[in-house]
Chain A
Amino acid sequence: EAGVTQSPTHLIKTRGQQVTLRCSPISGHTSVYWYQQALGLGLQFLLWYDEGEERNRGNFPPRFSGRQFPNYSSELNVNALELEDSALYLCASSFNSAGQASSGNTIYFGEGSWLTVV
């Protein structure tokens, strides 16, 4: 069974440009999460989508946005790139984890997209 897949794996962008990262969840998973891992830092929560809706958003500016498609795949868009946006962007998926009964569902990560902003 395929795991969480992300594309592209590596990319270099210039400050001020825009980037779109893509994620395909594990088959049957409806929740998709995005995390940012900057060099030397831990994982910072960005966005959570479930069943096409945004469930929660981390403490990031509005230029970070995303969406989830009917097939549960997801995109993360970052506009007006800044040097500090250079990081590993991790996508994860799980079965529906909204609601107390399913809060313990495990989330599984992809290999990430390395973004370098120059």
Chain B
Amino acid sequence: AQSVAQPEDQVNVAEGNPLTVKCTYSVSGNPYLFWYVQYPNRGLQFLLKYITGDNLVKGSYGFEAEFNKSQTSFHLKKPSALVSDSALYFCAVRDSMDMGRRALTFGSGTRLQVQP
């Protein structure tokens, strides 16, 4: 079974400050973890993913995410937020134990608001 949780409905941060969007997961095997961003009235855009290897993953638009196996977390981070980063962010997971039988499971989403 696979599930993912995004504990914050909304995150507010001032422009120029660092941002963190939280994600925790639950899987039986090893996780494949993804972050997507959705701008208003648009589809989802892929930001980054963790499959294996280095726990710090770098992605598009200056975003990065840190995989923490002991805490079952995959938090999205950016050192300096931009107003244009304001959007809806989704974390998603796939369980290696499912042998590809299940599609990606998405979290409920976190709305990021960056104030000028």
Contacts and interface: CB of A to CB of B under 8 A. Distances in A.
Contacts of B44: 43, 90, 92, 109
Contact of A110 (B43, B49, B94): B43
B32 A42 contact: no
Counting contact residues on chain B (CB < 8 A from A), the size range is 20 to 34
A106 B96 contact: no
A107 B101 contact: no
Given A42-B108, A103-B96, A109 B103 contact: no
A42 B103 contact: no
Contact of A42 (B34, B46, B102, B109): B109
A106 B49 contact: yes
A106 B90 CA distance: 14
Residue with the greatest number of chain A CB neighbours at <10 A, chosen from B42, B51, B100: B100
A64 interface: no
Contacts of A110: 43
A67 B109 CA distance: 28
Contacts of B106: 35, 42-43, 45
B105 interface: yes
A55 B99 CA distance: 12
Given A97-B100, A99-B100, A100-B96, A45 B105 contact: yes
B2 to A, nearest CB: 11
Contacts of B109: 42-43
Interface of B: 32, 34, 36, 42-46, 49, 51, 90, 94, 96, 98-109
In the A-B complex, the 4 residue pairs with the closest CB atoms? A104-B51, A109-B43, A42-B108, A43-B106
